[in-house]
Chains A and B, each alone.
Chain A
Amino acid sequence: MINESAVFWSRVLTELTLSFHIIYATIGVGIPLMIMIAQWVGYKNKDEHYILLARRWARGFVITVAVGVVTGTAIGLQLSLLWPNFMQLAGQVIALPLFMETFAFFFEAIFLGIYLYTWDRFDSQRKHMLLLIPVAIGASMSAVFITIVNAFMNAPQGFEMLNGELVNIQPLVAMFNPAMPTKVAHVLVSAYMTSAFVLASIAAFRLLKGSNHIYHKKALFLLMKLGLIFSIATAIIGDFSGKYLAEYQPEKLAAAEWHFETEEGAPLVLLGFLNDEEEITYSIRIPYALSILAHGNPMAEVVGLEEFPEDEIPPLYIHYLFNIMVFIGMFMILVSIIYLAGIWRGWSFIKAKWFRWGIVTGGPLSIIAIEAGWWLAEVGRQPWILRGIMRTEEGATTSGQVDLMFMLFCLLYLVLGIGSVVVLRRMFRSNSIEQEIADRKSLKAGEGQ
């Protein structure tokens, strides 16, 4: 017995929680690395500005991590509350990385607490900096383990089905499924990329708002370098993801690219709209590009949607999500290349208002790209919750009150979203960088006497 309304609301509520959580989770994975790099640069060059950068980021990070932790707890429980049938089945095969994730999270939480409360406690700065290593490792490993679970949903393996029962279960084989390498790598580097561009966006915004402090310029330069490295890495791994999809989830690739008929030397469709007759209008076609994306060979054959049964094709709107993700990624690579080239060649326009506004938009845009990427990943797996094994509606709860819970969680995320933004703004406004540098100087002068 399937409760249609429970299925619908379970999907909506899961989408809501994930969409909200992923903002804080992505930042939570990437920022520890940024703090670590800034503190390391500051320590190496004996440059107080970078140390302060790390310190101020760490303060802001506490707020985002708090929201990340509580919404992560929410999605962790909602997996069982909204998808009890799925968890009962999948839990037998893929519980291991979920369990590992709690350890990674535990590890991170402990060292984050220590790091935050021991800023001036140790005699050597180095000792304190080393505490960041477990924080950054814990944060990234959490992402790795959770993404492994998601990869398993896309490419389940490590078990056999016998009369509806799972037999011959191999937890490690399930973890190292074919979707895992590209997915994990893509999630990690895109989180680093997003964190770099979000922080760069803040630095550029401060510069635009009249603070001409060298502190912000140093921050911006460092972050744009990191952003460029990670955005290029994201694009390269994205290309590998295309090859993975062509091999293991061709229907997902075909739906994302609006590739209806199987053909050799397939073109890549960018942009465009789909009308009621399933004809593509206003699109750009790049000849052979889809074959290259899928198989690395311009003449290779790419399987089209025509080869799949009607009820196993994901919704076609994922093409728009794919475009949003790719275009933002390209835009960010371009902005950071121009900025760095400008610094190197002494172009003055990179200091112009309009260009800085471009960098400012990069932060929100990167977050939108993360959202679009995850919607693409999740909607593109439909109609399956566990590809080829269990359909989404079979996994959902039969409970009747999901719609009411949806309303409550809407309210919760509204409060958390507004609360975190208000608190972050107030935190940095009441203690501007100029103020803090002055305070530290007078403190040091006081100690010296």
Chain B
Amino acid sequence: MSLEILGITVLWTFLFGYIIVASIDFGAGFFNAYSLLTNRSHILTNIIQRYLSPVWEVTNVFLVFFFVGIVGFFPQTAYYYGTLLLVPVSISIILLAVRGSYYAFESYGSSGHKGYAFAYGLSGLLIPASLSVVLTISEGGFVDVVNGHPELDYWKLYTSPLSWSIVLLSVAAVLYISAVFLTWYAWKAKDLEATNLMRKYALIWSIPLIITAAGIIVELRAHNKIHYENIVKLWPVFTLSAILFLITLYFIWKKQSYGMSVVLLILQFAFAFFAYGFSHYPYLLYPHLTIHEGFTNQEMAIALVIVFILGLCLLIPSLYLLFRLFLFNKEYVTGERKDHA
């Protein structure tokens, strides 16, 4: 495997990690706000707080890791995406900042202003929507090179059905992933009421998820023919992903194997996400930048890979400890232990 493939695979894996953990987080905030609105907050708030509290900062690091890594392995992305994304990414930063800090303010500082909870819940939908623009732009067709500098065609972007489908997919995926995960988490916490409510949300959000996902593939046919053909070539993987999706839904429908459902859900998204990534190859930004042209020098690439391996040796045991103490600790999950500073 060449170094650029290795590099992009590592980054893509971390982006996948971010999508899963951040979706759980974003969706949880939304469900929390929604339950406040419908006066059912007593059902969900505790469960959500207990899950989110120790991990919120870790979620953010996945994102930081991805964007620092991509500039490291592919410095030209800094030039193209940096120039193009000033506005959409600045908006994402502001939303992430408000969300992250208010989470800490709320849960450690004082409790209970409803306005914060709504802003927090809403930001959880707006962040994936604004970040998903990056994926849309990478499909090409929205970038003009003017006087040698890339420029984004906002009008085209905001009137394109493709970009809105991707926005909808990102929101639906966030809510679906989060609902399936929280169904399991609530079930583990032996909170039947919360389990049933989250189960209902999981079933509801599965529908827009599969519609938008299928719709995007159809739209790509008109938008980016090469990419569409690559996707079609990978049909067995996408089919596998769809089958996993159906099994997950079956389990949730039948109220059984919630833990297995989470595993299948992660696999379903992993297959779809990596197949999408492979079909995108070799373009980082169609048709301007490929991973081969945009790649850094050999020396830097080797150094980054070594640091990455050393870093993983440090991270994996630490993450294991974090999960063991909170996610998989019965006393913590069921709320018998409250040991925070």
Which residues of A have CB within 8 Å of B58?
A: 106, 109-110, 113
User: How far, in angstroms, from A402 to B83 measured CA to CA in the complex?
Assistant: 11
Q: Does A5 sit within 8 A of B, measured CB to CB?
A: no
Interface residues of B in 148-179 (CB under 8 A from A): 148-149
**CB within 8 A of B303: which of A72, A78, A171, A398?**
A171
Which residues of B have CB within 8 Å of A95?
A: 68, 71-73, 75, 296, 300, 304
User: How far, in angstroms, from A114 to B324 measured CA to CA in the complex?
Assistant: 10
Q: Are A96 and B64 in contact (CB under 8 A)?
A: no
Q: Does B81 sit within 8 A of A, measured CB to CB?
A: yes
Q: Are B109 and A91 in contact (CB under 8 A)?
A: no
Which residues of B have CB within 8 Å of A101?
A: 68
Q: Does A437 sit within 8 A of B, measured CB to CB?
A: no
Q: Are B90 and A117 in contact (CB under 8 A)?
A: no
Interface membership of chain B positions 294-333, coded 1 if the CB is closer than 8 angstroms to chain A and 0 otherwise: 0011011001100110010011001101100110000010
Q: Does B1 sit within 8 A of A, measured CB to CB?
A: no
Which residues of A have CB within 8 Å of B64?
A: 72-73, 76, 102, 105
Q: Are A419 and B54 in contact (CB under 8 A)?
A: no
Most chain B CB inside 10 Å of its own CB: which residue of A63, A92, A93, A427: A92
Q: Are A117 and B339 in contact (CB under 8 A)?
A: yes
Measured CB to CB, the closest approach of chain B to A18, in angstroms, equals 14
Query: Taking A106-B58, A423-B105 as contacts, is the C-beta distance between A88 and B100 under 8 angstroms?
Result: no
Which residues of B have CB within 8 Å of A245?
A: none
For the A-B complex, the count of residue pairs with Cβ-Cβ distances under 8 Å equals 235
User: How far, in angstroms, from A386 to B325 measured CA to CA in the complex?
Assistant: 45
Which residue from chain A places its CB closest to the CB of B152 in the assembled complex? A399
Q: Are B108 and A63 in contact (CB under 8 A)?
A: yes
Which residues of A have CB within 8 Å of B299?
A: 169-171
Interface stretch of the complex, out of A79-87, A211-219, A373-381: A79-87
Which residues of A have CB within 8 Å of B54?
A: 113-114, 116-117
Measured CB to CB, the closest approach of chain B to A350, in angstroms, equals 32
**CB within 8 A of B318: which of A110, A166, A420, A424?**
A110
**CB within 8 A of A96: which of B72, B86, B96?**
B72
Q: Does B239 sit within 8 A of A, measured CB to CB?
A: no
**CB within 8 A of B102: which of A71, A83, A419?**
A419
Q: Does A103 sit within 8 A of B, measured CB to CB?
A: yes
Which residues of A have CB within 8 Å of B61?
A: 102, 105-106, 109
**CB within 8 A of B97: which of A79, A87, A112, A416?**
A416
Which residue from chain A places its CB closest to the CB of B76 in the assembled complex? A88
Q: Does A280 sit within 8 A of B, measured CB to CB?
A: no
Q: Are B96 and A73 in contact (CB under 8 A)?
A: yes
22 contacting pairs across A/B (C-beta < 8 A): A1-B148, A66-B101, A73-B93, A80-B82, A81-B82, A81-B86, A84-B82, A88-B79, A91-B72, A92-B300, A96-B72, A99-B72, A100-B307, A102-B61, A103-B314, A116-B54, A117-B326, A117-B332, A119-B339, A166-B297, A412-B98, A426-B110
Given A109-B58, A419-B101, 16 more pairs with CB closer than 8 A = A1-B148, A62-B341, A77-B67, A81-B86, A88-B75, A92-B75, A95-B68, A107-B314, A107-B315, A110-B58, A120-B339, A121-B325, A134-B318, A408-B90, A416-B98, A426-B109
Point out residues on A near B: beta carbons under 8 Å. 1, 55, 58-59, 62-63, 65-67, 69-74, 76-85, 87-89, 91-93, 95-96, 98-103, 105-107, 109-121, 134, 166, 169-172, 397-399, 401-402, 404-405, 408-409, 412, 415-416, 419-420, 423-424, 426-427, 430
Point out residues on B near A: beta carbons under 8 Å. 53-55, 57-58, 60-61, 63-65, 67-69, 71-73, 75-87, 89-91, 93-94, 96-98, 100-105, 108-110, 147-149, 296-297, 299-300, 303-304, 307-308, 311, 314-315, 318-319, 321-322, 325-326, 332, 337, 339-341
List 9 tightest A-B contacts by C-beta distance, closest first. A84-B82, A66-B104, A91-B75, A95-B72, A423-B109, A87-B78, A80-B82, A70-B97, A103-B311
